[in-house]
Amino acid sequence: MEAVAGGKRAYSIIVPTYNERLNVALIVYLIFKHLPDVSFEIIIVDDGSPDGTQDIVKQLQQVYGEDRVLLRARPRKLGLGTAYLHGLKHASGEFVVIMDADLSHHPKYLPSFIRKQKETGADIVTGTRYVKNGGVHGWNLMRKLTSRGANVLAQTLLQPGASDLTGSFSKGYVFQMEMIVRATRKGYHIEEVPITFVDRVFGVSKLGGSEIVEYLKGLVYLLLTT
């Protein structure tokens, strides 16, 4: 979960989805609940979900308005990183927030992100599990060790200027890691907010061995190019 300085709205919240029919209505509801006095739009980038996710989003548009909930679908599954880039093309907000649809990034933290940015003037505010009041809920020991090891490796090799580069480390999160690392190299102001990362309640996790390989390839790529 990150907020990036960039409109019709103050904030554009980009939420990529693939087979998130059971989660998308809840996350949209929670965003509206926790940002009652904030001008924002939610951009749902759905990668051709066969489970009816887009039908749910269209119903949400009837409830909240097509100007507040935007559906920017793609024809097939093209990856999380490119989904964020697709959402950015349609964002009108002064600031952009990127977050997961599976509630692993809870919308209750959004006010803290906004407050931190206003207090510090940061270019990027990113969530971290590795400071006081941060953490993980719902992961087994192996996944915790894998994530912690991946983050230590990234910290050692890249020295990114942020304590948490592996909020998850599937294919698309190389995009998140690259954004932080390149922003640090260019001297942008980065701040952190402690969050508790919660494993998904509904649906199937998209993390697997191939995503870990992609993460390691992305790590090497950044080491060579930054």
% of the chain surpassing 90 pLDDT? 46
Dihedral of alpha carbons 82, 88, 90, 96, sign: positive
Element (H, E) at 98: strand 95-98
Instruction: Note the pTM of the prediction, 2 decimals.
Output: 0.76
pLDDT computed for residue 28 by the predictor: 97
Q: Regarding predicted confidence, which is higher, 70 or 148?
A: 70
What was the pLDDT predicted at 113? 93
Residue 21's closest CA among 66, 63, 48, 51? 51
Beta-bridge mates of residue 4:
96, 124
What pLDDT, on the 0 to 100 scale, is given for residue 49? 96
Strand partners, 126: 2, 192
Q: What is residue 81's predicted lDDT score, i.e. its pLDDT?
A: 82
Please check the confidence at residue 3 and state whether its pLDDT lies above 60: no
Q: Do 1 and 99 contact (CB within 8 A), yes or no?
A: yes
- The 10s digit of each residue's pLDDT in 104-147 is 888 999 999 999 999 999 999 988 876 676 555 555 666 666 66
Tell me the mean pLDDT in the region 193-217.
65
The domains of the chain, with CATH numbers, are: 2-225 (3.90.550.10)
pLDDT at 5: 53
Q: Which residue has the higher pLDDT, 160 or 51?
A: 51
pLDDT of residue 102: 84
pLDDT given at position 164: 65
Give the CA distances from residue 130 to residues 4, 124, 134, 165, in Å, rounded to whole numbers and listed in that order.
Answer: 20, 17, 6, 10
- Joined together, the tokens standing for residue 100 give 């997961």
Please give the average per-residue pLDDT across 185-214, as a whole number: 71
Residue 103 confidence (pLDDT): 84
> Sorting pLDDT into bands at 50, 70 and 90, what band is 68?
very high
* pLDDT tens sequence across 153-189: 776 766 766 666 655 434 455 777 788 888 888 999 9
Closest CA to 24 of 48, 58, 68: 58
Max CA distance (Å), the chain: 48
CB distance 120 to 185 below 8 Å: no
Q: For residues 11 and 220, which has the higher predicted lDDT (pLDDT)?
A: 11
* pLDDT of amino acid 205: 52
Phi, psi of 19 (to 5 degrees): 55, 55
